[in-house]
Amino acid sequence: MPNIKSSIKSMKKDAKRHERNVFEKTRFKKAQKKVLEAIANNDAAQAKSLLALADKAFDQAAANNTIHRNAAARKKSKLAKKVNAIAAV
């Protein structure tokens, strides 16, 4: 534990930031996993509805600077391609 006041404050900020980042990452990874499960089950309707929730989770993670906005866009695009592929079949 640091003795310097600014270091103590910095540790507290780091802990809060870490908590928020872990929460955001967990949320979008769970959403992504649900979409991939729906795709594996060939359930296009459910995959589309879950894709909207996953997109929102990615956007919120990007808004909170947990992941880069381009990374969020890339992940959204990749999932959308998979969902559209099973919807077309």
Q: What is the CATH number of the domain that holds 78?
A: 1.20.58.110
Considering the entire predicted model, what is its pTM? 0.86
State how many domains the chain has. 1
**Domain boundaries, position 61:** 5-88
CB contact set of 59 (below 8 Å; sequence gap of 6+) = 72
The CA distance from 56 to 43, in Å, is: 20
Write the pLDDT tens digit of every residue in 15-44. 999 999 999 999 999 999 999 999 999 999
Would you state the pLDDT for residue 71?
98
Sign, CA torsion 24/83/46/35 = negative
